[in-house]
Structure 1
């Protein structure tokens, strides 16, 4: 029988007798003391940091019932099964239960035989349900995955907003919010929405030292994913893909390679999703291939790697997804395969967002992930900076710090940019500096006689996109900064001056380099595929017809037959290659690239 008296030392006794640990981890004891003293709490801890213990022990110490709000049905079952295995009286109520099972749980609640009750926010939203809960002696509410409350969180769920009503029904019952991913903005949102009163705020470090972060240039992604997995035999791992179609293709490919893999996405039946997740949890298969619909709060602690075959949607989501590896504290790998083609995919989805505010937020998320994937700066430092946590870099556990990335010396190109900034008295922003280096003929340049500068046109042999990448790298490596008080003009730091005057070298990561910078030409593409594929040509023509009809213009206005045939022959796979198609300029790339490139990529994967 569990001793639930709230006396000095009780928490430590429960920690040992129920959970088998001799000491608390950082922050756990402070959180438990605050809750058991009746205080509200906001707790942000990384995945694997021991959040559940912070509400389970108080739940055992309180005389009455603890209600845990949890977002995923599968997670609830796992948590209750684990609690029951430890002798903790727990139950859950959700749509998977039959009437008889629900009736039995309410009977146990009335007899005070349950200490932890897990509920979904959807159940709380049922009219009159909060009033129904008032009949039970509830001593404590715990809100798990609390970032779902905030529109700034990576997994905002409108149904979670019903939780704002808890405080009015239970004004004197302590409440605690728990999350593994929350910026300070999300934190403020959660505290406001839940009505937490003078809460203890605990922000544990987000630094998961056991995770190794790597970004690799994406070429043949299916064979790259398979190759990585074959080098980690009989280890559990998750492969994330952006679309359901890619999930199915990847799972089928891995199975064809003799690997034990299963798919997981919202297009599968509830039964199949549940069966596949259970097979993964029980180590009956090694790999689950999934969209981001999989894994929030997953309890499996022996995941050794997380692979992203596509660019994630946000840094917060990426951190949450990679955080599913290494929950047992053992070394684990987080690999992201990146190509510039991912950018156009994401941009296409962003362009479909109607809400201007949401669109800006999505673009900011995309830009941050692009920077993470391309700049030559410690991966861990960039992740932690997103969560407002300082890190000096040189973490010793990412591809940048371990010097396993292919670095390209770009000192001369860096000096060209830095010289242009100095010669314009550090008075202009990114676009104007690019125009100077590239040699653009603009009114702004002519009116200031900047065409007379020694640096004017010194970079005409490379694209504007290349020079933007150089500037992004210089900013990321803190060689230059944007002066926010002077309209984001570029200024040099002491490091920038060292690079300019040849005292320091400047390197960039190869993930920042597109095929164009490596000298890719039409001939290279023709060598790769020297025939026009009629089936692909038909698909491209059908898409052209669809676009023309939507815009009420003749098909040739979109692309000529010659352009489509050229496209079907050289088969471009990213923005730089798309520009090499006859009849495609910058504007056509911007408007139609996101529509035609996915068709070509899907065809090639098939």
Structure 2
């Protein structure tokens, strides 16, 4: 494992920390980034499961940069390739992509540069990877890592299976000594096992980070009057970017038109549009020229836009993986963001019709049922979502609609033990329907053929209706007591938490069954009141500046700085280069590119607010600096600001120490300067002026002493560097 570079850390680990700070502008690794990078530097294969916005890209980008050779990144998403390459270039990294969006001449140049070692990260589509010509390019290059992004696409159990991904097994066969890193944000147990098998990296270590995105609030509402609810939602947060996912192409168009009629900046996006028009919508959204997109699920795949503040599902998604991935497009910068799902049973029926005509009907129906159980949940939604991916959350999240407005609960331990015992006594081979039939003592022929009428728990739950048992078992799944083995004919399995319930080691609280009307009343929020928009004035100014810079550079705004970086800038208000580099997300390259403009905007803001009478801690000397640049003398500044002249000279000294362009020779002679500095050296005092004042028998004014002290400190700082 990598250790902190301050403790004589050997290369390349120390270089990994240096790259993190100097290239990407971050002070420390998060989640399991450090362990993954260490594994890659040791030449080991890895499966990396990290939530959207968790920093997966750095896991392969940093190992690629701190070693000889280059990294090959396989990605199915053209938009993601373009975004990541642009972001890398902004940070001073040599990167490129190969896909159908560039010409044959451009592709040839990229391939030549890659073989010549001039590109550190090359992104390719799986289709391009499989060509014979590109195989020769790979063989002629020095690869330090192969990264397979969106790795869930390789698995038949995943939610976005792509046949071309199943051919990637040749990578390990042809490049056995090159580590392979598979990365995805969404993969249940069956999918994870399939990824390892399909890529032939069965010995790879799995790095499973928490799936939790605590910055996302989760909410579900009944679908009645959803258009009116969406309009109220948007008008309550008019400056924020958002995505509304719809089930059909027609509904994206219909909804966008309804929003436009309300004066809302919205447009639609779906696969049936003219490609140029469709790309233009996405481009406008990425560049903050469009606030809201009403889209089918294809939208947003691979978009790195970090400042999407909310995601609404106009319809029920087909499975929890899709839902998790789609809500993950909000709040990628880690700031608080909202999600809202509108649920109706008609959506369930429509999705079931789609499944009837497709492959893997049994699997898809089971996953849809889990999605429906999420929408109908009466316990913490985040617990349910995390348990689906095999992660247990001990406490309720407090940031979902159920936690904020819980239903009536009851002790469900005895009911849970009935169900868990029945699952155990049937060797964990049955699904939900058979479990309910066993508990209720059904006379089904297949049940009797299997001999389940002879087990101890047969008929133990006959006093509860079939519908009630569906409600209870759904909650046991949601609580993480049971899980579904999708790769084993959707059989129910008892989890470690379920074993504790079986042996009465934990409490099990479940909600009482509700009627549809009761549930509708509980989940329908009160009519929204007009929200007063509390905006951060400096944040908004920095956002405008960021957009201007982005437009001049032809890149998305979030590629310049993320919203979280702007928030830090507006909070800490750095006014020097050193202070700027302490802001998360600002490395040396971006500080050199944009630092002067952002510092100028911050200083201008501080000056305006201070002159308006607002007291801003630690900023008063900057106002003096601005007035000095306008040509005012210290005396004139003191008069204009209604301050003592000695205070203004103190400001000048502070500015000089900070490295500002302040000429002190007009305020103190060389002779006085040398004399005072000699005195400073003799008494060894560099903080308090009074001892120095007394040393010179109170004959030299404080303002002269303060200026000389500033010169001495700056000289000493330069000499010790």
1:309 aligns with 314
Of 169, 177, 185 in structure 1, the residue corresponding to residue 174 of structure 2 is: 169
Change (3 A) 1:349 1:512: farther
Equivalent residues in 2 for 1:120-199 (5 A)?
A: 120-196=125-201, 198-199=203-204
Cα distance in 2 between the residues matched to 1:285 and 1:45: 29
Structure 1 residue 56 displacement after superposition: 0.7
> 2:237 matched to which residue of 1?
232
Tell me the residue number matched to 2:436: 430
SS in 2 for 1:42: strand
Q: Secondary structure at the match of 2:51?
A: coil
- Cα distance, 1:110 vs. partner? 3.8
**Which residue does 1:346 correspond to in 2?**
351
Task: Identify the residue that residue 372 of structure 2 maps to in structure 1.
Answer: 370
Q: Which whole-Å deviations, capped at 9, do the CAs of 1:534-565 have from their partners, x for residues lacking one?
A: xxxxxxxxxxxxxxxxxxxxxxxxxxxxxxxx
Structure 2: distance between partners of 1:465 and 1:309: 30
CA distance in 2, matches of 1:251, 1:350: 27
Deviation at 1:249, TM superposition (A): 1.3
1:114 aligns to 2:119 (yes or no): yes
CA distance in 2 between partners of 1:100 and 1:51 (Å): 32
The TM-score, its normalising length taken from structure 1, stands at 0.70
Out of 365, 378, 383, the residue aligned to residue 385 of structure 2 is 383
Structure 1 position 101 matched with structure 2 position 106: yes
Contact 2:384 2:477 (8 Å CA) reproduced: no
How far apart are residue 104 of structure 1 and its match?
Answer: 2.4
Residues 469/167 of structure 1: CA separation in 2 closer, same or farther (3 Å cut): closer
Mapped pair 1:400 → 2:402: yes
Quote how far apart the aligned CAs of 1:101 are: 1.7
Secondary structure at 2:403 match in 1: coil
Alpha-carbon offset, residue 367 of structure 1: 0.9
1:384 deviation in Å?
A: 0.5
Give the superposition deviation at 1:15: 0.7
| Greater C-alpha Rg | 2
The answer to whether the Cα contact below 8 Å between 1:375 and 1:512 also exists between their aligned partners in 2 is no
1:205 maps to 2:218: no
| Residues 513 and 340 (structure 1), Cα distance of their counterparts in 2 relative to 1, 3 Å cut | farther
Does the C-alpha gap of structure 1 residues 435 and 16 become closer, same or farther in structure 2, counting only changes over 3 Å? same
Q: Residue in 1 aligned with 2:279?
A: 274
Distance 2:435 2:221 in 1: 31
Contact 1:221/1:309 (CA < 8 Å) preserved in 2? Answer: yes
Contact 1:478 1:493 in 2 (8 A): no
Alignment CA distance shift 1:506-1:46 (3 Å) = closer
Residue 293 of structure 1 is matched in structure 2 by 298
Q: CA deviation at 1:429?
A: 5.3
In structure 2, what is the Cα distance between the partners aligned to 1:86 and 1:351? 49
Partner of 1:9, secondary structure, is helix
CA distances 1:193-231 after superposition (whole Å, capped 9, x unpaired): 112263232100001111111011110222222222222
Q: Are residues 45 and 479 of structure 1, via their aligned partners in 2, closer, same or farther at CA, if it must alter by over 3 Å?
A: closer
Q: TM-score, normalised by structure 2?
A: 0.60
Cα distance change of structure 1 residues 92 and 153 upon mapping to structure 2, 3 Å threshold: same
Q: 1:299 to 1:62 in 2, by over 3 A?
A: same
User: Does the aligned pair in 1 maintain the 2:317–2:371 contact within 8 Å?
Assistant: yes
Task: Report the Cα offset of residue 164 of structure 1.
Answer: 1.4
Q: CA deviation at 1:480?
A: 11
For structure 2, the residue ranges without an aligned partner over 5 or more in a row are: 1-9, 420-424, 426-433, 443-452, 454-458, 484-490, 495-500, 521-721
Partners of 1:361 and 1:350 in 2: how far apart? 10
| Pairing 1:66–2:68 present | no
Give the 3 Å change call, closer, same or farther, for CA 25–471 of structure 1 in structure 2. Answer: closer
Cα gap change, 1:342 to 1:102, in 2 (>3 Å): same
**Which deviates further from its counterpart, 15-24 or 469-478?**
469-478
The 1:252–1:71 alpha-carbon spacing in structure 2 relative to 1, beyond 3 Å, is same
Matched-pair contact (CA < 8 Å) for 1:376–1:477: no
Aligned-residue offset at 1:273: 2.1
8 Å Cα contact 1:217-1:337 kept in structure 2: yes
Secondary structure of the equivalent of 1:304?
A: strand
Tell me what 1:598 maps to.
none
The answer to whether the Cα contact below 8 Å between 1:434 and 1:467 also exists between their aligned partners in 2 is: no
User: 1:107 offset after TM fit, Å?
Assistant: 3.2
